[in-house]
Homo-oligomer: A and B are copies of this chain.
């Protein structure tokens, strides 16, 4: 099943289950979110949709991203600059991030040991984990690491 169709179905099911209404605007946001590549801010998405002649409003974008987060189609990320970033997470492996504090480049990595630590610590401290975020900050050693400002 193509990704977009699957996401569509998942979102629709979620909306029904959670007694949210099914509106064209919500699916418009869903598709725009899946079209973004990599990480994007809520406002980025709004601007991008607006420049594609959409009639959407800011409030709807923010509201819908929250719904998409709740049903696991997008994930909210926080890279230390006080902006909520999102990324499509449907059908993607869990992964974490390396953030270059010089050029803004974000690399991804996976390590199964991290989930293991999450579970162990949570058990130990009496905590029911729903998620985690793990970001490494530093400088990438790419020779073209300059002021690339995403």
Contact = CB atoms under 8 A, between A and B. Distances in A.
Interface string A67-109: 0000000001010101110000000000000101100000101
Contacts of A132: 134-137
A83 B82 CA distance: 6
A117 B135 CA distance: 11
Contact of A134 (B107, B109, B124, B134): B134
Nearest to A140: B127
B138 A125 contact: no
Tell me if A's interface is mostly helix, strand, loop or mixed: strand
Contact of A130 (B83, B109, B128, B138): B138
A58 interface: no
Copies per complex of this chain? 2
Contact of A80 (B78, B114, B134): B78
B136 A121 contact: yes
A118 interface: yes
A122 interface: yes
B114 A117 contact: yes
A87 B101 CA distance: 20
A127 B107 contact: yes
Interface of A: 76, 78, 80, 82-84, 98, 100-101, 107, 109, 111, 113-114, 117-118, 121-122, 124-142
10 contacts: A76-B80, A80-B84, A98-B125, A107-B125, A114-B117, A121-B136, A126-B141, A126-B142, A127-B136, A133-B133
